[in-house]
Amino acid sequence: MRKRRASGPSAALTNARPPVTGPRASRGSRPMSPPTLQSTLSALRLRLDIGSASRRMLGETRRVLEAVSHDDDRHTITHFSRLLSRHGRSHASLEWNSRESQQRRFLVLSEAGLRSGHSLLDVGCGTGDFVEWLNDHGYDLGYCGLDLTPAMVDHAAFRFPELTFVQGCLLATPPPVLPLPRFDWVVASGIFAHRRDDPETYMRAMIRAMLDRADRGVSVNSLSMNAPHANRWTLFHAEPEAARAWAESQDDVVRVVLREDYDPNDFSLYLYKTEDAVRDMTWTP
């Protein structure tokens, strides 16, 4: 069967548009109190035409907000829905400082060892910018995107109707229904910064859930405790060495690589589950 670019080796990952039924990092913005459901829906109306499509999205956002149980999840959905309604599809709607900084992190994610023919779960996929980057750089992957915010998923599915995008969170009970039980790689860029309730425990639980879905490995990044200007921080910054030590303690991880070479505010972890996956790494320490 001929593969589509970024649609990959499995037919389960192509031509599937699941019903609109995880979070990303900020770079220096001040976290706000969770807006009310009504203010979020009003902000969305400012951006969307009042037609059947916008009514559906407003209704879906309301349904998800009522279903989630954690205030941090509600904050993520309302905050990024408002940003998307204000900025449209851009790095600003995802709170990256620039498109260049966003894409630099995409390169680092990929250097863990992504290869054409692999299947990939992109946690906190936003509007699908990483799969666009993968396409532009010649990758041919079995891609699936997952995001907590319904409006993000809707935008991504509109951009890439041949791909699968799912609304949900890996830590939800029950977990989201994905097209594959496991993927070669599970990646996430900037999904921890807005967590306020015990963020370190949340980060570890999320990476553990990502490992449970991965056959080859996990590639993930976070704001770093080693970042400059600590007196200005308003978002969660993780301690890189502690994160690496925890990752190395996982029984199914054969090697962990810590990267702090690409941005003074960030670090990345590669968590490998097989030696074969380690050999695919394209970054040279």
pLDDT of residue 174 exceeding 80:
yes
For 99, the token pair is 């498109």
Vertex 171: Cα angle to 219 and 235 (nearest 5): 65
Q: Kindly list the domain boundaries of the chain, sorted by start residue.
A: 11-18+96-279, 37-94
SS3 of 137, please?
coil
Average pLDDT over residues 118-134: 96
pLDDT of residue 13 exceeding 80:
no
Q: What percent of the chain has pLDDT over 90?
A: 55
* Residue (of 155, 175, 177, 181) closest to 166 by Cα position: 177
Vertex 148: Cα angle to 144 and 149 (nearest 5): 105
The DSSP output letter for 35 is: P
The per-residue pLDDT for 40 is: 53
Q: Are strands 183-188 and 164-167 parallel, antiparallel or unpaired?
A: unpaired
pLDDT band at 213 (very low <50, low <70, confident <90, very high): very high
pLDDT band at 255 (very low <50, low <70, confident <90, very high): very high
The per-residue pLDDT for 50 is: 37
pLDDT band at 41 (very low <50, low <70, confident <90, very high): low
pLDDT in tens, 45-99: 544 443 445 667 777 777 887 777 778 888 788 777 777 766 556 555 566 565 7
Q: What contacts 85, CB < 8 A, 6 or more positions away?
A: 43, 44, 46, 47, 48, 151
Give, in words, the CATH class of 11-18+96-279.
alpha beta
Least confident of 3-12, 125-134, 165-174, 258-267: 3-12
pLDDT of residue 9 exceeding 90:
no
pTM for the model stands at 0.79
Residue 11 near residue 1, CB atoms below 8 Å: yes
